[in-house]
Amino acid sequence: MKNKVTPAPVIDEKLKLVNKPNGKGLTRIVKATQCSFRGFAAAWQHESAFRQELIMALVLLPFSFVIASSTLHLLMLISCLLFVLFAEIVNSAIEALADAITLENNVLIGRAKDMGSSAVFIALTLLTLVWLEAIWRYVTLHI
């Protein structure tokens, strides 16, 4: 006796899974870019932490040009800002996926959410260390 696989119920027509081709060449790049911009818009709309961190990055970005001691130093300062945004988007994606599966307490889902939060913490710690070093260097050279 063969087991029949039953399809998952569709909650909303917009959420219906579709086997969509990714395309090739330039079409694939355009589609991927559109998906990326939808992801940024969703993060901005639904995640207050992303909004706060993006505003922080936009405020700090001009200062990175002032306090950087070299081009490589500037790239490191900017990379740390981008890494925080990256970590927050991945964390938000994990949380959204977990919440789509169930809102009930689940040990594994809780662990996944905590690990995503840890990734953001690591990114913020790296940002803090790199920026404090840059500020210290700038202050000691200009006093």
Tell me the C-alpha to C-alpha distance, in Å, between residue 88 and each of 44, 61, 69, 95, 119: 11, 18, 28, 10, 8
Q: How does pLDDT run across 12-64, given as a tens digit for each residue? A: 555 555 556 677 888 889 999 999 999 999 999 999 999 999 999 999 999 99
Spatial neighbors of 53 by CB under 8 A, at least 6 apart, are 84, 85, 88
| DSSP label at residue 69 | S
Q: Global pTM?
A: 0.81
Residue 106 predicted with pLDDT over 70: yes
Lowest mean pLDDT among 8-12, 45-49, 68-72: 8-12
User: What are the catalytic residues?
Assistant: 88
